[in-house]
């Protein structure tokens, strides 16, 4: 099998390739990545020399390049995106270019070359926010994106589904909750907290900190994508979420401080994100029932393992950390 993975130098994409090459050693993977601020060749160092792996630096919006690569592909697994909500508030245009036009470019090429499966990796943020107490997102929840990031991902989902209904392109979509784990960029919440503490800084909590996310260990997400590609039904969407319980941002900060043996005085409240979604929660019964997926990695164990990974892999995050904090200080004053 020949896979084209987009965004394989990012957080989830690099974890996906590492998992896939190990599980399917006779498959070929081409990783197309533009190496934006979020793409790191260092995230692929352990598999970059494998004979069945090839890296191509390029933009998913480049029609000729995408056509040339898809010509020799059976399955597209599409991760590449601008993925940071705070950045989308500062500069939405690049989100529309990559997340909407880039996806449409890939869909066109996939159709032209009659590929076997186009898997789009999407987010629960397309559904908008939930009240603090109440139900969860399901595959039937109407789309209601509230940030430019979420709106661009919603557009990509709609386009992918339209290519299935209109042209019969074999599309599947996973809408997943917040991932955490190794190789996540230091701009995102959990790695930002851990690396702030490892560099003697405070943890920065937006607003009142009572915002709830559904936290999923990245390998559980990657296993879900594997199952959907193998056994998911064409044209279908699967929601993937991991939380064994609901924890708000402030509680997560305190869990991390406890594990790192640091006092709660390291918590600093800063100004809130505009349009900050209050709560995300996922009902994953469809993928659990139909594909027998369930999360294997508990939050308590794997947050500790994630902290340990950042403690042991300073070589990976130290070179990128200064840039992330500069972005926060200069543009958001937080």
The residues that are catalytic are: 124-125, 149
Alpha carbon of residue 163 to chain centroid: 23
Q: How many helices (H) and strands (E) does the chain have?
A: 12, 13
73 close to 106: Cβ distance less than 8 angstroms: no
CB of 108 to ligand TDX, least distance (A): 24
- Decide: is 185 part of the binding site for ligand NAD (CB under 6 A): yes
Question: In angstroms, what is the C-alpha Rg of the chain?
Answer: 19
Query: Which one of residues 211, 217, 299, 317 is an interface residue with ligand TDX (CB under 6 A)?
Result: 211
For 96, list phi and psi in degrees, rounded to 5: -70, -40
Q: Which residues contact 64 (CB under 8 A, 6 or more apart)?
A: none
Q: Is the CB of residue 256 less than 8 Å from the CB of residue 303?
A: yes
CB of 61 to ligand NAD, least distance (A): 6
* Chain mean position to CA 138: 19
82 binds ligand TDX (CB under 6 A): no
Query: What are 151's two structure tokens?
Result: 């709106």
Exposed, middle or buried: residue 67 (CB in 10 Å: 0-12, 13-18, 19+)? middle
Q: Give 125 or 157: the residue with its C-beta nearer to ligand TDX.
A: 125
Instruction: Kindly state whether residue 38 participates in binding ligand NAD, applying the rule CB under 6 A.
Output: yes
Candidates 40, 78, 87, 188; binder of ligand TDX (CB under 6 A) is 188
* Residue among 249, 251, 242 at smallest CA distance from 302: 242
211 binds, among ligand NAD, ligand TDX, none (CB under 5 to 8 A by kind): ligand TDX
Least Å distance, CB 90 to ligand TDX, is: 13
181: partner contacted, choices ligand NAD, ligand TDX, none (Cβ within 5-8 A by kind): none
User: Out of 100, 121, 130, 205, which residue is the one contacting ligand TDX (CB under 6 A)?
Assistant: 205
Q: 119 near 225, Cβ under 8 Å?
A: yes
CB 190 within 8 A of CB 138: no
Strand (E) or helix (H) holding 144? none
299 vs 15: CA distance, rounded Å = 18
Q: Which residues in 251-260 are b (16+ Cβ under 10 Å) and which e? A: ebbbbbbeee
123 binds ligand TDX (CB under 6 A): yes
The verdict on 222 binding ligand TDX (CB under 6 A) reads no
**Which of 44, 83, 103, 237: binder of ligand TDX (CB under 6 A)?**
83
Q: Among residues 85, 120, 151, 169, which is the contact residue for ligand TDX, using CB under 6 A?
A: 85
Residue 204 binds: one of ligand TDX, ligand NAD, none (C-beta under 5 to 8 A by kind): ligand TDX
Task: Indicate the SS3 state at residue 293.
Answer: coil
Q: Which of 47, 77, 89, 102 binds ligand NAD (CB under 6 A)?
A: 102
Q: Is the dihedral of CA 222, 227, 118, 52 positive or negative?
A: positive
* Chain residue whose CB lies nearest ligand NAD: 10
Please tell me whether residue 79 binds ligand NAD under the rule CB under 6 A: yes
Residue 18 within binding range of ligand TDX, rule CB under 6 A: no
Chain centre distance of CA 189: 13
List the x/- string, 222-261, binding to ligand NAD by CB under 6 A.
Answer: ----------------------------------------
Site string for ligand TDX, 247-276 (x = CB under 6 A): --x-----------------------x---
Binding footprint of ligand TDX on the chain (CB under 6 A)? 83-85, 123, 125, 178, 188-189, 192, 204-206, 211, 213, 249, 273
Binding footprint of ligand NAD on the chain (CB under 6 A)? 6-7, 9-13, 32-36, 38-39, 59-61, 79-83, 98, 102, 121, 123, 153, 176, 178-179, 185
């Amino acid at each position: 099998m020949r896979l084209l993975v987009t965004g394989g130098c990012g957080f989830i994409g690099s974890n996906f390739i590492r998992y896939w090459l190990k599980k399917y050693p006779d498959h070929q993977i081409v990783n197309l990545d533009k190496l934006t601020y979020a793409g790191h060749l260092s995230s692929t160092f352990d598999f970059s020399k494998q004979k069945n792996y090839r890296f191509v630096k390029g933009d998913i919006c480049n029609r000729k390049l995408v056509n040339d690569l898809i010509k020799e592909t059976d399955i597209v697994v599409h991760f590449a995106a601008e993925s940071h909500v705070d950045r989308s508030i500062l500069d939405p245009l690049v989100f529309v270019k990559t997340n909407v036009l880039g996806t449409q470019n890939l869909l066109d090429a996939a159709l032209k070359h009659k590929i076997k499966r186009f898997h789009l990796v999407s987010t629960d943020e397309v559904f908008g926010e939930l009240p603090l107490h109440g139900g969860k997102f399901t595959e039937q929840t109407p789309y209601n994106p509230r940030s430019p990031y979420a709106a661009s991902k919603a557009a990509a989902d709609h386009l992918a589904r339209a290519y299935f209904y209109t042209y019969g392109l074999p599309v599947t979509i996973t809408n997943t909750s917040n991932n955490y784990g190794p190789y996540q960029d230091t701009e995102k919440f959990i790695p930002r907290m851990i690396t702030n503490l490892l560099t003697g800084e405070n943890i920065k909590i937006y607003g009142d900190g009572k915002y709830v996310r559904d936290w999923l260990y990245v390998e559980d997400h990657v296993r879900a994508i594997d199952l959907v590609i193998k056994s998911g039904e064409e044209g279908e969407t699967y929601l993937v979420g991991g939380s064994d319980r609901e924890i708000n941002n402030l509680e997560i900060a305190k869990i991390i401080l406890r594990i790192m043996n640091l006092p709660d005085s390291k918590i600093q409240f800063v100004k809130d994100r505009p349009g900050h979604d209050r709560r995300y929660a996922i009902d994953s019964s469809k993928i659990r029932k139909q594909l027998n997926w369930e999360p294997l990695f508990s939050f308590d164990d794997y947050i500790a393992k994630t902290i340990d990974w950042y403690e042991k892999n300073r070589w990976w995050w130290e070179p990128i950390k200064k840039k992330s904090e500069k972005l926060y200080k200069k543009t958001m004053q937080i």
